[in-house]
Chains A and B, each alone.
Chain A
């Protein structure tokens, strides 16, 4: 290992290492320290997310972390194994409902009649949940999702390419209907039900061993707010899962999966059992999805069946395509970009709305872009409570921006954000020479 140029490898060990050079190791260490300091609210460092996301910047970032864990899974399936799936939301839902069945607070098991007799106010009906602690439901949510992934993989094995994408769309719709069929587990179809908290308990005791849902001092050492605790917990879990994914990709299994992606028949000719490894790819991807779904439900506290919809799956496809398919760094970049861009737009629009009365150089811009709903005020973005005519809210414009970004990235930069980084790196690699 040395301070060498990018992509210069002197041994196989180095080529297979997590960080092939000291430069990368150092950069990763600095990045980790920055993330920790950011969570602790260090001055200057936490000013950066505050500029983009506002004073409550920690919430959108923490919300992104479980989705980033699930995105690691879709990267293994689509980016590494090359099996296009639009069913990731379904597997996230499987994991999340496993978590809520094991960890959620419900009545006794007797209350869980398999089929509801009449549709009533579902909040008043018995809901299933064993109230078990996080160290039970979190592994189980991944394992059950993986098992379901193995279960559907024979059907997915029959088809390839776009047909597979459509089949997995079918999975999402079947999952949505299951959510409607079992309100004992899913709660009301519109409002959903409560998820278990992230508190670490040994068993069902009242005061958890490590608290994640209240401000407080941890082990008499450090005082943290609720948001900071959850940020650190999910950040640590994400770090662990990144390591797991990285080790998987650089091992024999990972190479087999990549061989299947590049040309499945050729891989089989070389002795890679196609069926087994595709099934494994589905299982691992679903495992990540299940964990991500369970954590996401627990972080947000309340989810409804409609949240595990096709649009969530599309989010993940967008994450790996915008970030850069097949690379873990790209997946993380994509997750940050896709999940945080809407929040940035929202925050900056709120800021722009304040400039209307401030009368500075931004006031004309604000007047041009925003409309408050009064007559004669014309702008495409509506910030008033009533929607006059054809203007749209920031929420709706965010979808438009998101869709257009997907199109632009695929047309102009098929390798995504990671590809942009590679280009920048390669430019500086040979600097100051032109080649």
Chain B
């Protein structure tokens, strides 16, 4: 934190503002990705996915295993696409690996949906949420064991390189985060226009009525979990790129808590609103980054790392004004 302040002290106020804005946009992109994962799962299956932390980190783990180890341990075949030892993959190859990791994460989501969520259909919402807490607890040790203390490298081709925009230092990873989130967000919006997406919206609106129309609700559930897990994993991978805090790796300390930091985002936007996830992610990230930048002179008063609780404070005040978020559907209370 102190080094960051010194670094910014040398550039002008305008450049600082640009840097802060880009950082807010990049962090917002990560939040949007993970929040979209939450929202798709909640919309289709009415499950608040507390396992998102472990699942997103597992996706990032798949990525590091594929690209750093060149294949999974205990499996007889290696990853043929993996870069040679000591080298980083090219940009195209890197994104191919990202896609493979997302596919693996989606498969993990499918398995979890089939094993733990499907038998619980019709149970109280809270019981379903606690099931996902159980999944989180059960998967987390594997993640932590695999990352070990020093973390695992993601092998990002552009590393921590940055551009110089008239004095403002803009890391390349920030732009990648924004582009990836934009592509994912637009894809999700388009997905809801396809036949399957319409089916998902119908299921979200009324499960029984959707079933009566011949929609395979089980399949919609499975696809929602696959998509939700893959999006969360994408968020974790993007967050693993420098100069986001772990610095180019998957870390034992930061990644498990990443999804919990997104909870204020989905509350702010509304649990079941895609637009809410996008606006919420950008608003919360802006508040967090700007508080971290412009209140840093009171660092000793506020306590180090105060910016990480800004989202929760925004959430608490927001709830007093709008209890169901900006775009959430208010619950109709009946006797």
Q: Which residues of B contact A (CB under 8 A)?
A: 48, 73-74, 116, 119-120, 123, 125-127, 129-131, 133-142, 144-146, 260, 263-264, 266-267, 271, 300-306, 308-309, 312-313, 315-316, 319-320, 323-324, 331, 333-335
Contact = CB atoms under 8 A, between A and B. Distances in A.
Given A169-B263, A263-B335, A265-B333, A403 B127 contact: no
Contact of B335 (A169, A265, A397): A265
A423 interface: no
Contact of A162 (B129, B141, B146, B315): B129
A406 B134 contact: yes
Interface stretch (A152-160, A190-198, A200-208, A217-225): A152-160
A399 B271 contact: no
A404 B138 contact: yes
A84 B130 CA distance: 11
Contact of A155 (B301, B320, B331): B320
Given A119-B304, A166-B264, A263-B335, 6 more contacts: A173-B312, A177-B305, A181-B302, A318-B130, A321-B130, A400-B138
B47 to A, nearest CB: 9
B73 A390 contact: yes
Contact of B316 (A162, A167, A314, A405): A167
B250 to A, nearest CB: 16
A177 B141 contact: no
Contacts of B260: 169, 173, 310
Contacts of B127: 321, 410, 414
A411 interface: yes
B137 A165 contact: no
B130 A403 contact: no
B252 to A, nearest CB: 12
Given A170-B312, A392-B141, A407 B324 contact: no
A406 B331 contact: no
Contacts of B313: 174
Given A118-B300, A265-B333, A265-B334, A155 B316 contact: yes
B305 A317 contact: no
Interface in A248-272: 263-266, 269
B126 A410 contact: no
Contact of A170 (B138, B264, B300): B264
Contacts of A167: 267, 315-316, 319
A318 B144 CA distance: 22
Contacts of B320: 154-155, 158
B309 A173 contact: yes
A433 B334 CA distance: 43
B308 A403 contact: no
A410 B137 contact: no
Per CB-CB distance, the 3 closest pairs between chain A and chain B, nearest first, are: A403-B138, A406-B134, A403-B137
6 contacts: A155-B320, A159-B319, A169-B260, A177-B309, A402-B134, A406-B134
Contacts of B304: 119, 180
A165 B264 CA distance: 11
A116 B300 contact: yes
B214 to A, nearest CB: 28
A177 B267 contact: no
Contacts of A266: 335
A181 B309 CA distance: 12
B133 A406 contact: yes
Contacts of B334: 265
Interface in A404-424: 404-407, 410-411, 414
B303 A317 contact: no
Contacts of B73: 389-390
A402 B137 contact: yes
A181 B304 CA distance: 8
A119 B137 CA distance: 34
A163 B133 contact: no
Contact of A410 (B131, B139, B264, B308): B131
B324 to A, nearest CB: 7
A161 interface: yes
B134 A166 contact: no
A170 B133 contact: no
A258 B264 CA distance: 30
A122 interface: no
A12 interface: no
Nearest to A409: B134
Contacts of B146: 390
Contacts of B141: 392, 396-397, 399-400
A161 B331 contact: yes
Contacts of A269: 335
B125 A162 contact: yes
Task: Tell which of A314, A404, A411 has the most Cβ of chain B within 10 Å.
Answer: A411
A160 B145 contact: no
B263 A406 contact: no
Contacts of A405: 134
A13 interface: no
A279 to B, nearest CB: 16
A3 interface: no
Given A117-B300, A170-B264, A162 B137 contact: no
B274 to A, nearest CB: 18
A115 interface: yes
Given A118-B300, A389-B73, A163 B138 contact: no
Contacts of A263: 335
A387 interface: yes
Contacts of A411: 116, 119-120, 131
A174 B137 contact: no
Contacts of A318: 130, 133-134
B320 to A, nearest CB: 6
A396 B138 contact: no
A410 B130 contact: yes
Contact of B135 (A116, A397, A407): A407
Contacts of B48: 162, 165-166
Contacts of B263: 166, 169-170
Contacts of B266: 166
Nearest to A310: B260
A161 B146 CA distance: 35
Nearest to A160: B331
Interface in A75-106: 84
A404 B140 CA distance: 12
A106 B201 CA distance: 60
Contacts of A406: 130-131, 133-134, 137
Contact of B271 (A119, A162, A174, A264): A162
Nearest to B266: A166
